Amino acid sequence: MTAIRLGADIGGTFTDIALEHSGALYSTKLLTTYAAPEQAILDGIEIVLADAGLTPADLDLVIHGTTLATNALIERRGARTAFVTTEGFRDVIEMRTENRFDQYDLNLVLPRPLVPREDRFPVAGRIGAQGQELAPLDEVALETIAKTIKSQDFGAVAIGFLHSYVNPAHEERAREILSRVLDLPISISCEVSPQMREFERFNTVCANAYVRPQMADYLARLQIRLKDMGATCPVFMIHSGGGLISVETAAQFPVRLIESGPAGGAIFAADVAQRFGLEKVVSYDMGGTTAKICLIENFAPKTARSFEVARSTRFAKGSGMPISIPVIEMIEIGAGGGSLAWVDAMGRIQTGPESAGSEPGPACYQRGGTHPAITDADLVLGKLDPDNFAGGKIALSLDAAQTAIAQDVGTRLSLDPTAAAFGICEVVDENMANAARVHAVENGKNIADNVMVAFGGAAPLHAARLCEKLGIDRCLIPQGAGVGSAIGFLKAPFGYEALASRVLPLSRFDAPSLNAVLDGLKTTAEGFVRTGSNGVITRAVTGYMRYAGQGWEIPVPLPDRAFTAQDATLLATSFREAYARFFGRAIDGLDGLDIEIVTLSVKAEDQRAAPESTALTTGQRDHMATQHRPVFDPAQGVALQTALIARDTLTPGDRVSGPAVISERETSTVVTSPFDVVMQDDGSLLLIRKEATA
């Protein structure tokens, strides 16, 4: 029998719950409760179980993703953390790197480190770049440091020593000494992020320690309350790389959860792409707080081994907090339904990154919010039904939305509320379009070559206009799009990616050393997978390689087998081919230019059944609406009489000519005048440009 899985996604504004049972999807959205985030999960579980005719005891697995770790880093609400590091490297996390994210700003202010200088404790001892001990660890000094930490109100400890990714002996010994005196969670960088580059590694272990007490308390509380309601099933977390890990692992390495919600969305979009056989897809996930763009090729989202959180300047690499862990690669901006609109000193409309969240929420929620959010603008433009928002659970006030927009935007720019709302939506849509273009160009892709898959509570409201701006002709709105990330959790495999940095020049190729590192990574990755699955495990091996002397590496797929001395030529050829794909051509003909492996990765996951395939249809039957209302159409610049259709009244093959609004409980799909919409066999909606050929 198929296991009954339930997905729960805590976002900055809404908490989404999804349950699949006997071929049917049951879902709900509730406002996130900040004081007790687990409460919305429990309330949502009760709703979907009642709809499905199940009890908590029937659940076989609860899969959870959360933004709590991300929010703790952004809002600096973590534990006071002590950072123990190599003598002479106390200020690495403050000095950062030589890069300036805005090199022409003479008054550039860099983000504050998580750990202030007075809470960083240097200790003598040194490991070399090849893993040799250059100086012994000062254990007496460590005992003194432990007493100092104990005498103050620290909540966690991070340990980061130079080159511990090659030889972890000093970090492991330091943890042993500190734990004799301290009853605090201790994170060591060789376990959290065993990769070279000390700034990124030190920052990652500090971030892990910073959020660890809070996340451990939350996860323990969630498990207790689930058991109290009668759910005896295990709870697994979705990590930033898109796989499932145990709660125990998540509590030890909470930094792996920072992009867990968006990862679920990317998995959801990849599943849709595989179902329809779409090899080039751009996923567009817009919720209440942020919008995420991810490229998906050959039914798999692109991945990376580092990313930034809490950027102080939009789109500016280096302005955020670097986290070096495996992650699904995407670009994220502060553009959600709750993002606030305002006018800057130059008289320009701006949106985000500040969000109204769920408390107090947009002005139209009537929960105390007085500033206009994107949702307020959508309501004023007619995209939303004020009496049927979130399945009727939240009554929206058009008057409150108009008042807030007039107060903060309209009056400043001498615009009526409708014109100001149009300006707000145009700005946020253009910001998202720019983000998508940047992300595609950075990956050497043309964004217009993709089919868009849009989901999240707000994405279907803006997807058609975004496609207009990007030149995309087709967009899919899957069934359950409003809770897409939570559905993605249900489709996620048990998976884990293990990494290790080892500089291995191909001119001195050492196959036994390479095999030893890979064997250790395979054991580690498969060990994590086996905590939740006994199924068949698939592995993907990647080498991050570069020309010697370069500052960054590119991913190169490697065969999953033992290597021999003769494989040096194979690795060099594979690298040159990958380099040419990234940069147009390989660098050949320079004497003495060596190639080296810098980091190795093994990704293991249990094998999941492929989704049932279906073909896109452009529809043969025109579906005529019986209800209409004025909705502002951005392509025409005026309000048009727009067809209003409930999604559940459409049958496969029905085609509706835009403009139209297709409503459902968790979201609404706005079809602008350049598009038609067609119901697909699986319940998805296909937006197709009128002049485009199928």
pLDDT digits (tens, 9 = 90+) for 543-567: 999 999 888 899 999 999 999 999 9
Query: Which pTM value belongs to this model?
Result: 0.88
Q: Is 596 inside any structural domain?
A: yes
The mean pLDDT of 583-599, rounded to a whole number, is: 83
The mean pLDDT of 500-524, rounded to a whole number, is: 94
pLDDT recorded at residue 11: 83
pLDDT recorded at residue 335: 79
Work out the angle at residue 366's Cα, subtended by the Cα atoms of residues 361 and 12, and round it to the nearest 5 degrees.
Answer: 15
The mean pLDDT of 11-37, rounded to a whole number, is: 87
586: CATH? 3.30.1490
Closest to 200 in 3D by CA, of 356, 317, 351: 317
The mean pLDDT of 614-638, rounded to a whole number, is: 88
Which range among 97-106, 141-150, 606-615 shows the weakest confidence by mean pLDDT? Answer: 97-106
Q: 89 falls in which pLDDT band (50, 70, 90)?
A: very high
Output 620 or 521, whichever has higher pLDDT.
521
Across the chain, what does the average pLDDT equal?
90
CB atoms within 10 A of CB 407: 15
The mean pLDDT of 432-457, rounded to a whole number, is: 89
HSE-up (13 A, CA, CB side) for residue 570: 10
| Percent of the chain topping pLDDT 90 | 65
Residues 6+ apart with CB under 8 A from 199: 92, 93, 95, 96, 97, 322
Output 566 or 102, whichever has higher pLDDT.
566
Examine the fold and report which residue of 606, 634, 668 is the final residue of a domain before the chain moves on: 606
Q: Is the pLDDT of residue 622 over 70?
A: yes
Examine the fold and report which residue of 208, 238, 268 is the final residue of a domain before the chain moves on: 238
- Helix, strand or coil, per DSSP, at residue 90: coil
pLDDT recorded at residue 3: 80
Q: What gap in Å lies between CA 266 and CA 284, rounded to an integer?
A: 9
Q: Quick check: 11 and 192 in contact, CB under 8 A?
A: no
CA 220, 62, 225, 37 dihedral sign is positive
Examine the fold and report which residue of 588, 606, 624 is the final residue of a domain before the chain moves on: 606
Q: Is the pLDDT of residue 608 over 90?
A: no
Q: Is the pLDDT of residue 492 over 80?
A: yes
Which range among 198-212, 286-300, 592-606 shows the weakest confidence by mean pLDDT? Answer: 286-300
CA 439 to mean position of chain CA atoms: 14
Q: Is 222 inside any structural domain?
A: yes
Q: Is 563 inside any structural domain?
A: yes
User: In one letter, which amino acid is 492?
Assistant: A
| Percent of the chain topping pLDDT 70 | 98
The mean pLDDT of 88-116, rounded to a whole number, is: 87
Query: Inter-axis angle of helices 198-228 and 37-52, to 10 degrees?
Result: 50
Q: What gap in Å lies between CA 131 and CA 144, rounded to an integer?
A: 26
pLDDT recorded at residue 12: 78
Helices (H) and strands (E) in the chain, counts: 17, 36
223: part of which helix (H) or strand (E)?
Answer: helix 198-228
Q: What gap in Å lies between CA 109 and CA 119, rounded to an integer?
A: 21
pLDDT recorded at residue 169: 96
Q: Is the pLDDT of residue 693 over 60?
A: no
Residues 6+ apart with CB under 8 A from 304: 326, 327, 328, 329
Q: Is 48 inside any structural domain?
A: yes
Q: Is 343 inside any structural domain?
A: yes
Q: 1 falls in which pLDDT band (50, 70, 90)?
A: very low
Instruction: Check residue 394 and report its DSSP letter.
Output: B
Q: Is 441 inside any structural domain?
A: no
Q: Is 600 inside any structural domain?
A: yes
Q: Quick check: 659 and 633 in contact, CB under 8 A?
A: yes
Q: What gap in Å lies between CA 408 and CA 45, rounded to an integer?
A: 38
- Helix, strand or coil, per DSSP, at residue 352: strand
Q: Are residues 499 and 601 in the same domain?
A: yes
Q: What gap in Å lies between CA 297 and CA 300, rounded to an integer?
A: 6
Which range among 163-172, 238-247, 252-261, 382-391 shows the weakest confidence by mean pLDDT? Answer: 382-391
Q: What gap in Å lies between CA 492 and CA 239, rounded to an integer?
A: 10
Q: Is 313 inside any structural domain?
A: no
Q: Are residues 592 and 503 in the same domain?
A: yes
Which range among 136-140, 332-336, 365-369, 612-616 shows the weakest confidence by mean pLDDT? Answer: 332-336
Q: Are residues 597 and 509 in the same domain?
A: yes
Q: 23 falls in which pLDDT band (50, 70, 90)?
A: confident
Q: What is the dihedral of CA 117, 121, 127, 130, to 10 degrees?
A: -30
Q: 290 falls in which pLDDT band (50, 70, 90)?
A: confident
Total domain count for the chain?
Answer: 3
Output 158 or 528, whichever has higher pLDDT.
158
Output 105 or 568, whichever has higher pLDDT.
568
Burial class (CB in 10 A: 0-12, 13-18, 19+), 114: buried
Long-range contacts of 393-397 (CB under 8 A, 24+ apart): 393/29, 393/30, 394/31, 394/365, 395/366, 396/364, 396/365, 396/366, 397/363, 397/364, 397/366
Structure tokens at 159: 């340990």
Q: 591 falls in which pLDDT band (50, 70, 90)?
A: low
Q: Is the pLDDT of residue 590 over 80?
A: no
130-175, pLDDT tens digit by residue? 999 999 999 999 999 999 999 999 999 999 999 999 999 999 999 9
194-213, pLDDT tens digit by residue? 999 999 999 999 999 999 99
Instruction: Check residue 476 and report its DSSP letter.
Output: E
β strands within 626-667, DSSP E: 627-633, 638-646, 654-657, 660-663
The mean pLDDT of 631-635, rounded to a whole number, is: 91
Q: What gap in Å lies between CA 85 and CA 142, rounded to an integer?
A: 10
Q: 318 falls in which pLDDT band (50, 70, 90)?
A: confident
Range of the domain at 24: 5-73+216-238
